[in-house]
Amino acid sequence: MTDRCPGGLDREFLERFAREAGRPGAVVTWLNHWSLLHADWPALSRMRLIGFDGTLLQMVLHHHGHRVGRSSADLVLPIVLDEVLAPDDRVALIGAAPGVAAAAAGRLGRHPAIVFDGYGGLEALLADPSALVDVAPRLVVIGLGAGLQERVALQIHEWLPDAAVVTAGGWLDQLDHAEQYFPGWVHRMRLGWAWRIVHEPRRLCGRYTIEAARFLLGAGALVELLETIGPFNGLGIDRCTAPGPAGRWDGTGAAPAASAALLRGAS
């Protein structure tokens, strides 16, 4: 096995992140500049591990003395699936448009999968979680967008405290199209933002122009807020040894068990 991924990234680092993300009881999310601007801070503060996959955000963090490695759902989750989980471990996929999660499940290979479309499937799941709980998946992957997916992750952690619960942003949509959405050279040159603009211009042009400027204007204050969540290490923000369980709300915002509030928060 080489120590580099096809895209020129550090394989050893990604394997380390994957081991942490795949631990029973893990609650993991990733941030870039856009998702940080739209974060649900009470939910974000209860994640056990926060990785950083945005070049702009990483540059700002480095400027403030936080030398975090680069990771993302599309780089880490394939390792979790192939190397961390046992072959018969069940996986649940939650999110994306109708049919997308089911199509993505077909690319999981050996792992039995259960899928719940977002957002209609999410509403039914929150009303009656037995379809998920009875399956007892080892890994739950949630792709619902910034804020909502972290709130749902905490709720699922309440239901399934021994599962690894990981948010995935747009990875389910990407997996529906191809197992590797980005070519290796895109990762190597850190041009994922440009690749996505070309392929999803209507949705992403503003994210990498107007919203990037907004982020830079408030970057200092946002980093200070991140520093209050937990200690930084090479992986990102690691609360695995911080006091308090991941699934317990801190008193601000909606409690994880309030299903209606979870859905209202998506608006």
pLDDT digits (tens, 9 = 90+) for 3-55: 434 444 688 999 999 999 999 999 999 999 999 999 999 999 999 999 998 88
> What are 161's two structure tokens?
């405290």
- The answer to whether the predicted template modeling score (pTM) of the entire model surpasses 0.85 is no
Determine the Cα–Cα distance for residues 32 and 10; give it in Å rounded to an integer.
19
pLDDT band at 240 (very low <50, low <70, confident <90, very high): confident
Lowest mean per-residue pLDDT among 194-198, 211-215, 241-245: 241-245
The encoded tokens of residue 159 equal 């239901």
Strands 237-238 and 49-52: antiparallel
| pLDDT tens-digit readout, 86-136 | 999 999 999 877 888 888 888 787 899 999 988 778 989 999 999 999 999
Under the phi-then-psi rule, with left for phi > 0, alpha for psi from -120 to 50, and beta for the rest, what region is 217?
alpha
Long-range contacts of 216-220 (CB under 8 A, 24+ apart): 216/56, 216/60, 218/37, 219/60, 220/64
